[in-house]
Structure 1
Amino acid sequence: MKNKLLVFSLFLVFILVLSQTRTPIAHIIERDPPSVFNFGPGGITTFYYREYGKRRVSILYNLQELRGFDPQSHVLMLLSPDRRVENVNYLVEWVDSGGVAVICDELNYSIDVLKVLGIEYNSDVSGIAVARCALGNETIDILIDVAKKLKAVNSDAKPLCFYGIEPIAYNVSLGRGYAIIVGDSSLVINEILSQPTIAKNNTKFVEFLINDRNLLIYEGSRLYTPIYAQVIAQYIDVVLNGLTRVLRWVISERGAVGSLGVALGVTAILMMYIALRFGIQTNPKKYLQLQSTIRNTAESTWERLLIGVSAWEKLEIGMEKE
C-alpha cells in the first residue's frame, strides 16, 4: 500500500512539473481537411472506418513507403494535401509497376504530381454542383463542392467526369498502372456520407475506383498544431475553480441545508465504497444471528470473569483475617 502511495505521489509531482513546461503532448490537425484524423464535416473518418471493415486499409506518411506495398493489389488515395507533396518519383514508379493512384485535389499542392501525369488545373467550380461520370457502361451523377476543372496535355489521359462539357476528372495510363485525377476532394467527406441519399452515388463512384484492391491513404502532407503540457495546468486550474465555486454556492447560498446535503452525499459515497470494497452480506438474518451469539458469548464470559474476581477478593479477605 505504501509503495502504491509513493508511486502515485511521484506521478503527481511529475505531472505538476510537466505542466509547467512547453513539452508537446499531442497534435491537433489544422483546418478541416479530408483526413482520417479529422472528425469534422470535412474529414473522412466515416469513409475510413467503413473501408476498414471491407478491406485492408493502411496509412502512409511518406511516399517512399509505397515500396513496401504490392502495386498489383493496392490503390493509393491522395486527398487534398495541406502542403506540397514530396517524393513524387516514388509514386510515379509505383504506379508504373501496376499501382493505382486516386488523386483528389482542388488546391495546388498536388501540382507536382499532376505535371508528371500531364494534367493541369483550369478554372474553378464554385459552390455545390453535379458532375457526370462514366463507370464502364454506366453513367452516374456525383456531387462536387468547390472543385477545379481540369485539362490534359497528355494524350494518354481520358476524361472520366464532366461538369457541363468541361472535364473535372481524368484517367491517366502510366506503364502497367493508372492514375485517376479528380478536381475535388470532398467526394466521401463526413458531411456527404452523413446524408445517405446524397452519398449513394459518390460512394459508388469511389468504390468503383478502388475496385477489389486494398486501400492506402496518404496523410503525409498535413499540418498539425501542437498541444503543450501547459494545458494540464490550465485544466487543473479550471477544475479547482469549478469546485471552489460549487463549495461556495453550497455553503453561502444554501446554508445548513446545503451542508447537510453535502454531508449526506459524502456519507452515501462512503457507504457505497464500503459495500463495493467489502461486499454485502448475502444472508443478513444469518449474519445478525451470528452477531447475537457472539455478543451473548462475550457477555457470559465477562460475567464469569466478574464472579471469579469477586470470589478471589473474598478468599483474599478471609486469609488476611486469619
Structure 2
Amino acid sequence: MARLLITSVVIIALVLIGLGDIAIPTIQAYDPPSIYNYGRGGYSELVHRLRVMGYEFDSIDNIAKLRFYEPSRWILIIASPDRDINDREADEILSWVSSGGRVAILNELGTTDSILSRFGIYLGRPGGGVETVRCTIDGKEYDVIYNIYSPMRINNEPGHRVNIICGSPEYILGVSIDMDSVIVIPDSSIAINEVLLKGYGDSSLAFLLSIARGRGILFYEGGREYLVLRTSYLLKALMIIPSILSYMVNTAYAHGALAISIMISVIFVFASFILASSLGMGYSSRRRGVSKYSTKDIISRGAERWRRLAR
C-alpha cells in the first residue's frame, strides 16, 4: 500500500513539473574544449595532468571575476567559447593584461574577434586536418598537433608588436603579442583529451606549459552552450502509456470479442503477478523479522520472563 502511495505521489509530481515546462541545462553541447567535458574534445585530461604535476589552476564563468586573480600570478586560457566575447569583456581582459596578466587564446572560431581585431589579427576560414606544426617560444621548438584550425592574417596595428611563433609568414598558425602578454593559437584542440590520451600530445602539452611559464592556469568557462532538457518532455513520455493502452483497446475492439478476451486475460495475469510479488515481499519481510529466533528460543525467553515477573 505504501509503495502504491509513493508511486502515485511521484507520478503526480512529474505531471506538475511537466506542466511547469522548466528548462534544465544538462550537458555541454558541441563537445567543447572545456575542463568539464570528458569527451574526445574536452580538457578534462589536461586538468588531470596539471593536478598531477602540481600546477595551480582554476576556472571562471564570468570575465568580471578576473579582478579576483592577481595578474602577475595567472595566465587566462580562452578556448573556443561558443558565444562571442563582447567589447566590454574584451576591455576587462586587456585591462587585466596591462596590469601584468597574460592570456592565451586557443580558438579557431570567430568568438574572440573583439580581442584579436584590436591587434590587427583576423582568422581565416576553419579547415585543415590533423598535422604537426612547428612552434617556437623562448628559443625552444615544439611539434604541436593541430586538428581543425584557422590560418591568421595580420595587419600590424600601431603600438603593438606581433611575432609569429607557429607556422610561417605565408601560413601563420600562432602569434605572440607584446612580449608574450597575449598568445594566439588558432586551434583549441592542441590539448584535448583525444590528443593527450593517445600519447602523441606530450609535445603539445609541453608547448602549452611553456606559454604559462610557471603561472597558475585560469580557464574561462563562460560562453558555453548547454543541451536543455525541458520538463514538458517528461509529461509527454508519461502520456505515451495511456496512448498505448488506448491503442490496444481500440485494436482489440476492432477485432471482436476474442481479442478483447485475450487483452483482459493478459491484463489480469499481469496485475495478479504484481499483486503476488507485492504480497510475497511483504510476507518475506515479516518472516525476516522473526527468523533469527527458533521456536525453542521463544519458549525459553517466555519462561524466563514469567519467572522474573513471579518474583
By how many angstroms is 1:239 displaced? 8.9
Q: Which position in structure 2 is the counterpart of 1:95?
A: 97
Distance in 2, matches of 1:187 and 1:166, equals 17
Q: Is 2:34 the partner of 1:35?
A: yes
How far has the Cα of 1:76 moved from its partner? 0.6
Q: Structure 1 length as normaliser, TM-score?
A: 0.70
Q: Percent identity?
A: 20
Give the AA of the match of 2:120: G
Residue in structure 1 matched with residue 257 of structure 2 by the alignment:
none
Q: Which residue of 2 aligns with 1:245?
A: none
Tell me the amino acid that sits aligned with residue 69 of structure 1.
Y
Which moves more between the two structures, 261-270 or 77-86? 261-270
Query: What amino acid maps onto 2:61 in structure 1?
Result: Y
Q: Name the counterpart of 2:144.
A: 142
Give yes or no for the alignment of 1:61 onto 2:68: no
Structure 1 position 180 matched with structure 2 position 183? yes
Could you list the per-position Cα deviations for residues 142-185 of structure 1 after superposition, in whole angstroms to 9, with x for gaps in the alignment?
110121222432561122111696321111126xx701100111
In structure 2, relative to structure 1, the CA distance for the partners of 1:31 and 1:139 (3 Å cut) is same
Match in the other structure for 2:165: 160
After TM superposition, list the pairs within 5 Å mapping 1:75-114 onto structure 2.
Answer: 75-86=75-86, 87-114=89-116
For the Cα contact (< 8 Å) 2:57–2:218, is it kept in 1? yes
Q: Name whichever structure is richer in strand by fraction.
A: 1
Give the residue type in structure 2 aligned to 1:291. I
Q: Displacement of 1:191 after TM fit?
A: 1.8
Q: Out of 130, 133, 138, which is 1:131 matched to?
A: 133
Secondary structure at the counterpart of residue 190 of structure 2: coil
What's 1:192 paired with?
195
1:25 maps to: 24
**Is the 8 Å Cα contact of residues 80 and 107 (structure 2) preserved in structure 1?**
yes
In the alignment, the residues of structure 2 paired with residue 57 and residue 94 of structure 1 have an alpha-carbon distance, to the nearest angstrom, of 18
2:174 to 169, 172, 178: 169
1:293 pairs with one of 293, 300, 305 = 300
Partner residue, 1:314: none
CA deviations on 1:173-229 (whole Å, 9 max, x unpaired) are: 26xx70110011111122222212x22112221122223222221122222343211
8 Å CA contact retained: 1:32, 1:38:
yes
Q: Does the CA contact (< 8 Å) of 1:47 and 1:188 recur in 2?
A: yes
Give aligned pairs, total: 280
1:119 counterpart letter in structure 2? I
Cα displacement (A) at 1:48: 3.2
TM-score, normalised to structure 2's length?
0.72
Tell me which amino acid in the other structure corresponds to 1:92.
Answer: L
1:193 partner SS = helix
**Counterpart-to-counterpart distance in 2, 1:140 and 1:74:** 23
* 2:253 aligned partner: none
Cα deviation, 1:276-309, whole Å, max 9, x if unaligned, reads x85974xx6xx553224357x59x9xxxxxxxxx
Which SS does the other structure have where 1:220 is aligned?
Answer: coil
Q: Is the 8 A contact 2:64 2:92 kept in 1?
A: yes
The CA deviation at 1:106 is: 1.1
Whole-angstrom distance in 2 between the partners of 1:63 and 1:259: 59
CA RMSD, Structure 1 to Structure 2 (Å): 4.2
Aligned CA distance change for structure 1 residues 124 and 225 (closer, same or farther; 3 Å): closer
Name which one, 1 or 2, has greater alpha-carbon Rg.
Answer: 1
Q: Which runs of 5+ in 1 are unaligned?
A: 243-247, 301-322
Determine if contact 1:18/1:229 at 8 Å carries over to the other structure.
Answer: yes
Secondary structure of the structure 1 residue equivalent to 2:209 = helix
